[in-house]
Structure 1
């Protein structure tokens, strides 16, 4: 995975580093998930990593609300996506980004295939998006190599593409639920009279929306993906096994309707 950074919103020189101790723990947990010998083992590590990620995102938002703007600036990062299944991989990345309070844009190459995704948001949320996407991409790549359609007459490529779309949609749902859980937990510990966590996050969301409209407001929305294979349900089930928010979150959330 390759990335390019745009300094317009302060993503390069002068950007304050996100606290590394917690992020280093998250990276180690995701690395263990990638090397896990079984899906159940990977689930344990990924579950804990996402729990820490969600709490990290809320804590960083609250810290930034009382600190200087450069502590957690809005910026963008462009991440290349490769074939096979570049469109499905792009939506995995984009739907992770949107669940973690970022906006995103797909880029096509001259052949009309998706070549990259630009993620726009606060530094702490972009960092979380990149970490999780990188890990889940590695995990799904290994799984995709093994999955086959139940009907031998069905195209393997179509089945795998559909599988990845199902996986991405379910990951989005479960991340939304994990984020809501973290917001509720932090809000319950706030002192009386303290600024509302929900208000802080709403203000940040409005800032990201304004930056997006300034930069990409003229872009048309991408069409919904046309999924022809039968693997969607199996991909969603695989995302459930990742258990991003713990088993208590099963069945909550919503299916992403828009690509940005």
Structure 2
């Protein structure tokens, strides 16, 4: 049995025991590796195998790093990024959505004395070895791709991204409202144009899935906000609290919109919360956790109400247009396909009761911030939703 096999058997697969016994086993395994520099190459290969197994169990690079960041420390994140980068180099092509995830991998390596380094590696491998199987949100690397990756995002999405970035950066609420409204206008046009084009050319496509991080603090409110944005754009969001993400199911163009709008509204909401807290402190009140929780919960709920009302109004307008007769059945068919795909992916999903807000000032400030977001603003398009 090689040094690596003995070390892994002790640190990863030793059953039972107290925490002290597990720590002692980890120290023993790290000592074995630290004393055998010739084992480094095999240790790295074993790590890449664990990463490859994670892909086969449904995980993606961003999912793995999110969990490592939550459960371990920065050094483990850097080690995981290095393993992921090394493992994916062996594939001639990767799933389309992986490019952005890989581009965000932290690049700085972490080194230390041999014992500390071996300890960190074994701690990371222990987490990777115990990753459960989850529902895949796309093809596994190595699977033949049905279409080549697009060279870049559509020009319309670039314009939307730029508008939302300006809305996030400005310190003037009125300007942020106008920029967000214009971005929403372009989002509606992009999504409906994609649906109409797919129907016209009989393009064979179905719902896809993408995972979006929903991380603490205040993850419940963030998940509610993401769900509201998803439903308003004909998508379904399923929150996996244990893993720190929601899986959003929808057609490609709509998923792009959901990612962009949710991220922007979250940034704007956090900025509005900071401004509200400054007002509270100026009035002599200390910043509290309950204020922030109530603010974000109200912000998410209020936006959900407004997005739902906007969707119903726009649908009614589209139904009244004679030119929309061909598009409305397409949209209805897409919504049914999305629901069917989500139900098939998560047959055991359940509803969760949300703890109510307890801070009246936080709740009111959150509602006011949601009203200022103006996210329901959409230009009425002839013959379009």
Interval containing the TM-score (normalised by the shorter chain): 0.7 to 0.9
Cross-structure match for 1:144: 273
Q: Is this contact kept in 2: 1:75–1:122, CA < 8 A?
A: yes
What are the ranges of 5 or more consecutive residues in structure 1 without an aligned counterpart? 249-260
Cross-structure match for 2:31: none
Q: Is this contact kept in 2: 1:51–1:245, CA < 8 A?
A: no
Give the distance between the partners of 2:208 and 2:315, measured in 1 at CA. 23
Compared with structure 1, are the counterparts of its residues 48 and 120 closer, same or farther at alpha carbon in structure 2 (3 Å cutoff)?
same
Does structure 1 residue 98 correspond to structure 2 residue 98? no
Give TM-score, length-normalised by structure 1.
0.78
Compared with structure 1, are the counterparts of its residues 156 and 232 closer, same or farther at alpha carbon in structure 2 (3 Å cutoff)?
same
Give the distance between the partners of 1:234 and 1:104, measured in 2 at CA. 26
Cross-structure match for 1:78: 211
Shift of 1:65: 2.1
Does structure 1 residue 51 correspond to structure 2 residue 180? no
Does structure 1 residue 228 correspond to structure 2 residue 358? yes
User: For residues 4-44 of structure 1, what are the alpha-carbon distances to aligned partners after superposition, in whole Å with 9 as ceiling and x for unaligned?
Assistant: 5622599x873775961211111111011011121111001
What SS does the corresponding residue of 2:276 show, helix, strand or coil? Answer: coil
Alignment of 1:217-256 (within 5 A): 217-230=347-360, 231-246=362-377
Return the structure number with greater helix share. 2
Give the distance between the partners of 2:268 and 2:185, measured in 1 at CA. 18
Between Structure 1 and Structure 2, whose CA radius of gyration is higher? 2
Q: Is this contact kept in 1: 2:184–2:378, CA < 8 A?
A: no
Cross-structure match for 2:125: none
Give the distance between the partners of 2:293 and 2:202, measured in 1 at CA. 44
Higher relative contact order (CA 8 A, sep 6+): 1
**Equivalenced residues, count:** 239
Give the distance between the partners of 2:310 and 2:201, measured in 1 at CA. 26
Compared with structure 1, are the counterparts of its residues 215 and 229 closer, same or farther at alpha carbon in structure 2 (3 Å cutoff)?
same
Shift of 1:75: 1.0
Shift of 1:63: 1.6
Give the distance between the partners of 1:163 and 1:125, measured in 2 at CA. 28
Compared with structure 1, are the counterparts of its residues 29 and 155 closer, same or farther at alpha carbon in structure 2 (3 Å cutoff)?
closer
Shift of 1:228: 2.5
Q: Which moved more, 1:157-166 or 1:180-189?
A: 180-189
Return the structure number with greater strand share. 1
What are the ranges of 5 or more consecutive residues in structure 2 without an aligned counterpart? 1-60, 64-96, 98-136, 380-385
Provide the alpha-carbon RMSD of the alignment: 3.2
